[in-house]
Amino acid sequence: MKDQSITVLIKCEDQKGLVAKITNFFFNEGFNILSCQQHVNKLENKYFMRIHVKAEEVAISRSALELKFDNLAHELEIDWSINYERTKKKVAIMVSHTSHCLYDLLERHREGGLDCSIEMVISNHDKLRAISEMFGIPYYHLPVDKLHKEEQEKQVMSLLDEQQIDLIIMARYMQILTADFVGTYPERIINIHHSFLPAFQGANPYQRAYERGVKLIGATAHYATIDLDEGPIIEQGVERVTHESTTKTLKQIGADIERLVLAKAVKWHLQNQIIVSDNRAIVFPEAGE
């Protein structure tokens, strides 16, 4: 594990001595602590920590480290996960007709803005194949209809499992996932919703926003759950508009917001900055922000 950075995410009931015991563990094992971020929810008496450490001259295997830390976790009654910087997360992007989020993610990835390995693009249409192939990403066209929805989802899940996908991005994939699909990948599916949730849920929100004469439009990135559009919110963005805005201009503005909001959510997930507690996402800022 020499010269490797790791990030540990922790959540538990708040109690005295947590910081000292956890940081002392890594100090005693010879790790250099690069950052330690904390949040306490006093209303629910819950504690959250993101600790980023580096193994410079540490001669310990991953399995040995995890076993030792698990002993401490059992003593403190904490839930935890450990993430190794050298292990890139494998990503699959799911799309339908709309290209702006797909293109933005692939471009950011090519420029080094998303530290992951994009293994595939999956779509229920063949319309966006050229974009995927332009970036050298395998494209899988798996049509879906009401009579064969479960069969199509099994094909998708087979692809995801074969490639050991860590994160699924719904980049305007305009299909409602079944409870079985979502339940198989908890906290591993990020969806971009083209409105500032919980307002204007469902189809064609911009038309309804236009009809209501809204003054703010936005987008929401969240983890998908079995409750449609009600999963833990990771990031949201809004922009002020006026009565002069048309449905077309609202869509254009909304597309820009969607790109940015989705990219932020994906980046934070890849950098292990998110802890989900019940139906809330605690997002730690990137060190230095």
CA dihedral 153, 159, 160, 161 (to 10 degrees): 110
Residue 99, class by beta-carbon neighbours within 10 Å (0-12 exposed, 13-18 middle, 19+ buried)? Answer: middle
Closest CA to 65 of 35, 25, 20: 25
Closest CA to 11 of 53, 43, 39: 39
Q: CA-to-CA distance for 12 and 130, rounded, in angstroms?
A: 46
If phi > 0 it is left, if psi is from -120 to 50 it is alpha, else beta; for residue 87 that is beta
Closest CA to 116 of 126, 108, 124: 108
- Whether residue 115 lies in the annotated active site: no
Cis peptide before 205 (omega within 30 of 0): no
Sign of the CA dihedral running 157, 158, 161, 166: negative
Report CA Rg, the chain. 21
Closest CA to 53 of 90, 5, 19: 5
Annotated catalytic residue, options 70, 79, 180, 229: 229
**What residues are labeled active site?**
229
